[in-house]
Amino acid sequence: MTLTLDLAFDLSDALDPALRVQVGAMADPDQAETLWGERLRDWLTALQAELPKALQAEGYSLGLQLVSDGEMAELNQSWRHRSGPTDVLAFAAQEGGPPLPPLQDSEAQLSPEWGAADLGDLELGDIVISLDTAAQQAIEADHSLEQEVLFLASHGLLHLLGWDHPDDASLKAMLARQERLLAR
């Protein structure tokens, strides 16, 4: 089965032009939506077998935004009541329902807010990545900005699909799942 993906990609005007160049095609308005769409569709396809039935769909819809630290700090304060920027935020569209069973073959836990999916395309929500923070973290991790942005996008996608990391064991399992996605 070939999954469909309706992706809304947005690149903030407030981003440092040097960072936009550094991340390359992933921030090029002419290429980014296609590039991200292919990557996210591949990850969703890889995750299908381990998702609860309520999250398995033929098509998905989600948003992906690359923003500045200033914009991320505003979102972080508004939604999480935390000062300053963070690297990635995931705004899940499927909140408010009963809990779903945990993902198979994983110690990571599904967030308790999840409800059942509608038929057809499933709206997952939005992933927001601070390109400024990603650039700092890429330097600290000694890898490219592109690698860091992909890492953060995979983390955000798993959160949209209900993964959570309330403890070290769950975080370790989630990070391991991200690494498998990134290796594809």
26-81: per-residue pLDDT in tens? 999 889 999 999 999 999 999 998 888 888 889 999 999 999 999 999 999 999 99
The third-level CATH classification (topology) of the domain covering 4-182 is Collagenase (Catalytic Domain) (3.40.390)
Does pLDDT of 148 surpass 60? Answer: yes
How is residue 10 annotated by DSSP?
Answer: E
The answer to whether 70 and 138 have CB atoms below 8 angstroms apart is: no
pLDDT at position 1:
64
pLDDT above 90 coverage of the chain, percent = 73
Residue 98 has pLDDT above 80, yes or no: no
Confidence (pLDDT) at 120: 56
pLDDT in the model for residue 55? 87
Q: Where are the alpha helices (DSSP H) in the chain?
A: 17-23, 32-47, 69-80, 131-141, 145-160, 168-182
Helix (H) or strand (E) holding 5: strand 4-11
Measured in degrees and rounded to the nearest 5, phi and psi for residue 51 equal: -80, 145
Tens-place pLDDT, residues 82-91 = 999 999 999 9
d(CA 128, CA 14): 14
The secondary structure of 170-184 as a DSSP string is HHHHHHHHHHHHHT-
Q: How far is 183 from 150, CA to CA, in rounded Å?
A: 11
**Mean pLDDT for the chain?**
86
**Which whole number is the average pLDDT over 171-181?**
94
Give the residue extent of every domain in the chain: 4-182
CA distance 57 to 119: 8
